[in-house]
Structure 1
């Protein structure tokens, strides 16, 4: 399965003249063009004194240049993509925590990252897109003259770190996750193998490219298969179907909230869907409500492949297989890369069907958090990485996730998975989106609450929804508080956020 151990070897897979990186409304960059760009970029970095192991922070808008910058800079240095929407304090934290050797930022892009980098003495290198050339082509131009000899010039090796990302840090300080070339290339091949990607496949990327999902599943997996990825400026439900019509993708990958927004506009675009060449839809990074999966398959008439990923695994861990193999709603499928087990708190592996913590080990899993022995001691047991997710593995190897351990609601000693409540409420015909979460309670510690977005034109009362839930759930699982919203707060990557939601909605008093 593995034809490459490094990113530079991985991009050797595509045929010289085939499309590698594209963008709506622009001519694209070929695989041969991408390889040339990688050689020029590594040489340019080396001439600026930057080489293997040096960390280069990337603050770039979503699009083909972000994709090519990630791929080509990773060939000879360590990439550290950052969310361009960060505020100054966030750039201050991330640039110092990463010990960035340089900041690459798009020419003319206004960002507080510039002032933060200047104040910290971090050299600023401008990425200048080639306005007349194919999508993704660029040159690097330092703001001030830079020179020197890097400690290690040339292309990076399999054990060098290709990519560093931070964990989301919802309940604690974000941790640095270093991912080696051997990790990210393995994950790219795992995804390609799962989806049977080939030269003829074109992915329409709508995921943010500062996030592991977009970087590995959309970009690297496409390139590893010799296929193409067409990079949009970011997710936009209003533009999705015009891109879909122009690009004619064979697949796309997204988080559930994006799929729901796409479904909201699918009815008026049925002709575009029917005349397309879509082969599959992939969903990852959050639990896909079974109702959304069923509606996607009905509307697009292709299989929806739900996968399970996280940063520490270079994204993919498990995935539902393609037909004719079985796939199930509410299930993230079978091991699709690393080995998967279920472990109890004491570190014992559990038999099939028993509930416990999901653990993984394998080629695409990080060797450990950086400079954080305490976090590593908690995260690794007997060589297995503890995901922090709770679930079961059945006899056939299919994995079902019941929720994040830290999101499990403990109502006076009675524990419940918010995902179970989500699934029941989503069955109500008036409900479009729901996220169940814990709110503080003076006696029970935690009480069940839910935030709900109704379908356009639909109406239902809190009492009616609670009665609906009570017919399907044990009494202690029925939400005591239901809040109706026009939009549920989401993270930077479009994921619904349970932790901290009670506070954001003023339900902590």
Structure 2
């Protein structure tokens, strides 16, 4: 376990007795204990006929066993974590597309994952959490999938992780990430955040998503630090976990940060006791107003980073003090090279807007079973993110929107993020998502979904009047919908595409 180009090697550095995986009301698992768990899992899987490059879908709830199962299965096979909330039809697609040889579920799981796996002829393995053992300790039970597999552990070029893109506007694409990709990303995140063995991450992100898997779990453990694994995000429990875990940082998506801020005033004791070195935000644009409120509330810097599945998460990031952090920017390149490109492949200059492109050791080699999508995404020798942005004179990147989300109002191109930023300045607005609404003459019109601050009574007219004084007329939302809650995706991100249909505005 010495090759640092694999996640196995990256996890070899932690001191045997140092804490690695913690969880509410559980004793900690040490780094030595984690390595033993990985070796035991490899032995169990090999005995059941699972070896290098065999694909194991993992359908487990958030928690320490999900974290250690991801690492342990990846040590000898290929992991494919799936959302436990998926329905049978979704599981049928994902399990078939992955080409899973086995599925790993909880000991008592009788849900659709088991039914679908059996229908598809996929072996069902069960994770049995070891009672009264440190958090994350388990054994695997089940019938053999095939003859005993060779004893080799995974190698740097082997696929460690398979994840699908969100597939908001098209069939989800399957992204294979090698051990070398994941090791590079963990290294980049650790360097950006100056992670050491004394750091502990409070993880509230789902562990079927790249953000939680790599930024929270892998980067922490590969830095010889520790991760406190919650059962999933719960704003009511967050401050209790903060007091129990005593973390030096946490990472989340903006909607989670906003939910935490909404409860901060009621948890002054936990806030005063907190000793966060920094807070990290990623996976969606963090409004500057929320960044400012987080820093004032927690008394520590907020670092916004930019990531995506195809890059094994991190691509750019703001820096810790005394480095620069710029509200409204996702920061400078933080691992891979980052550039802005014109449609003809020309790299653009500072201040020019185009598509954000990247290349580096953390980036996938291409989509699986989709040569057309791979050819498009890797045109001109760079990976095309599908995001529009602009670099400033410091090399800091501002994302102006997803190319697919840019609103085309009769030929006028409008960045939803620009409208979001203005509406968030309204004192009564807590959350906003600007999106395209179909229009019979213009093609698309600007609409916005808004959640008001508690106790506020602002009307649609009040908010539109506020926007009118700050935006060109064609950018002012013609339709404003005030909601108790804006629909979110499985990872807590607000989703623009499809929102008009969800709200009955088509």
TM category, shorter:
over 0.9
Displacement of 1:413: 0.2
Distance 2:500 2:102 in 1: 39
Distance 1:158 1:197 in 2: 23
The size of the alignment, in residue pairs, is: 505
Q: 1:500 matched to which residue of 2?
A: 498
**TM-score normalised by structure 2 residue count:** 0.99
Tell me, yes or no, if structure 1 residue 266 matches structure 2 residue 264: yes
Displacement of 1:147: 4.3
Residues 158 and 181, structure 1, Cα contact 8 Å, conserved in 2: yes
Instruction: Pick from 170, 176, 179 the counterpart of residue 177 of structure 2.
Output: 179
Residues 23 and 63, structure 1, Cα contact 8 Å, conserved in 2: yes
Distance 1:290 1:364 in 2: 28
Displacement of 1:352: 1.2
Matches within 5 A, 1:249-398: 249-398=247-396
SS state at 1:419 partner: helix
Distance 1:307 1:418 in 2: 19
Residues 43 and 154, structure 1, Cα contact 8 Å, conserved in 2: no
Displacement of 1:300: 0.2
Displacement of 1:149: 3.2
Matches within 5 A, 1:90-105: 90-105=90-105
Q: 1:117 matched to which residue of 2?
A: 117
Q: Gaps (5+ residues) in structure 2?
A: none
Give a deviation string over 1:111-142, Cα, whole Å, max 9, x none: 20100001111010000000110000000001
Matches within 5 A, 1:60-75: 60-75=60-75
Distance 1:249 1:471 in 2: 43
Distance 2:347 2:265 in 1: 47
Residues 102 and 145, structure 2, Cα contact 8 Å, conserved in 1: no
Displacement of 1:383: 1.9
Q: 2:406 matched to which residue of 1?
A: 408
Q: 1:85 matched to which residue of 2?
A: 85
Give a deviation string over 1:378-410, Cα, whole Å, max 9, x none: 101232000000001112110000000000000
Residues 364-373 or 3-12, more deviating: 3-12
Give a deviation string over 1:14-69, Cα, whole Å, max 9, x none: 11100111101110110000011111111111111111110000000100000000
Tell me, yes or no, if structure 1 residue 149 matches structure 2 residue 153: no
Displacement of 1:3: 7.5
Give a deviation string over 1:225-281, Cα, whole Å, max 9, x none: 100001000000000000101111100000000000000000111221121221100
Tell me, yes or no, if structure 1 residue 442 matches structure 2 residue 445: no
Q: Gaps (5+ residues) in structure 1?
A: none
Give a deviation string over 1:316-359, Cα, whole Å, max 9, x none: 00000000111110000010010001001111111111100000
Displacement of 1:109: 2.3
Q: 2:139 matched to which residue of 1?
A: 139
Q: 2:48 matched to which residue of 1?
A: 48
Q: 1:32 matched to which residue of 2?
A: 32
SS state at 1:13 partner: coil
Q: 1:212 matched to which residue of 2?
A: 210
SS state at 2:114 partner: helix
Displacement of 1:176: 0.4
SS state at 2:168 partner: coil
Residues 304-313 or 268-277, more deviating: 268-277
Q: 1:191 matched to which residue of 2?
A: 189
Displacement of 1:145: 4.3
Q: CA RMSD in A?
A: 1.0
SS state at 1:483 partner: strand
Distance 2:478 2:99 in 1: 47
Q: 1:221 matched to which residue of 2?
A: 219
Distance 1:154 1:493 in 2: 34
Tell me, yes or no, if structure 1 residue 466 matches structure 2 residue 464: yes
Distance 2:392 2:427 in 1: 31
Distance 1:382 1:474 in 2: 36
Distance 1:146 1:385 in 2: 37
Seen in structure 2, the aligned counterparts of structure 1 residues 493 and 337 have a Cα distance that, compared at 3 Å, is same
SS state at 2:147 partner: coil
Displacement of 1:110: 3.2
Seen in structure 2, the aligned counterparts of structure 1 residues 145 and 46 have a Cα distance that, compared at 3 Å, is closer
Distance 2:77 2:166 in 1: 24
Q: 1:58 matched to which residue of 2?
A: 58
